[in-house]
Structure 1
Amino acid sequence: MVSATYDGFPAAVGVSRLSVYDWPTLDGRPGGGTPHMHLTCSEGYVVTAGRGTVQTLTASGYEETPLEPGTVAWFTPGTIHRLINDGGLQITVVMQNSGLPEAGDAVLTLPQDRLTDTDTYAHAVRIPADAPETEQAKVARARRDLATRRFQELRKATANGDPEPLAAFHRAAAALVRTRLDAWEQRWRSGAHAAATATGTQLRALREKDERHLAAARVAATGPTARGRFGMCGRLDVYPGI
């Protein structure tokens, strides 16, 4: 029997707090994150401080969306996105399918020779957890700049009417994650799928004048389990497992 209660965070989304990198960028912006793409998860931003832009690239073309306090912006899987920090940009990030982004549902726009297999890619994106913070920052900045160069190449090719470089990146990204799909499906079934199924069970119960699930109500709260972690777009306060 399907449970009438889902105990996880609403809709099984993931939440983190992001302070976007303020390191100057290759193209002369005050700061910015690492361009990347998610394969199965939509992503949302709730801007809480500062100002900036999210640059996006899809098969439909390039766009820029201004970000300021109070802005809520989101995009679907397949959207390559890059955050630009024009000053103090802080965001609450809401991710679909909590657990999947942490399990690798993101591919940076690295050169094609870094996307050939999972080991090569893992080495290219790794930030050594046991290294001093200065070394971690150096590695994070270097991989950001490498991904930014490829992002600019993909943007230029798309603007010039050549869809193949972007399509080649899509193919390589999909190939990189293919071996993880069984594990991802299990995470989805125990998370987002279970949350939606529980709502269906509750609706059916209420139609049948059965309100017993209301007696199982509970309250939960948590704080960040890690602060200031070097992420793709900036320093992260993370709340895993909610």
Structure 2
Amino acid sequence: MAKEINLREIFMIFKKRFWIIVIITIIATAVGYFQNNSNPTSLYQSSSRIIVGANSEYMKTLMVIMKDPVIMEKVVARLDLNRSAEALAGQISVDSINSSQVVRINVVDTDPVVAADIANATASVFKSEIGNIVDFNDVSYLSEAKVNPFPINSKSNRTIKIAFVMGLIIGVGFVFLLHSLDDTIHSHQEVEELVGVPVLGTISKMNKRNIRKRKKKQLEIEYGGELFDLKKT
């Protein structure tokens, strides 16, 4: 039989197991906090732009050459970098802005100055060497890379906020799951629904507190009666 849940019952469910929601939310938020701070290395990006006078098909070939080891090795040598040509190529991305002849050379590095130097050196080496690789020389500078002091992976509280909301949702869902699996009868109304007859009386839960209250009430009745008799005499 499906359980009918009213607002008062929902409130009592949350009140009874509110600590579960709190614990799950705290754990999820803590995980989000550590995840948000798990990448301490700041990364910086800088871009240089060149104009390449080629059609869209030939442009793809030229952009591939731009990251080829023959270009990257000369950039490494010019800047005296302590990395391989393949590793340097992994830091660089090349794209055509809005499918135009303007090519953007993006570089990501842990040092903002080095990122700008690599972007400018790549543009310079490509311009000077492309004629020796293929029969093409229509390359000109548009703008050089500037040092960008702001990291592109700056930390934000977005992950923490998402973790908090997810923890809250999971906690509430878990509480409702526990309630749906709980077959304990909590009220005489549930007994009446199950057996189909009215409940004539209930037996209070016997614990130490109830026993002390009952004894106190009996003593008050007994001593109250004696006092009444003494007053009459």
TM-score band, normalised by the shorter chain?
under 0.3
Q: Which has the higher strand share?
A: 1
TM-score (norm 1): 0.20
Bigger Rg, which one: 2
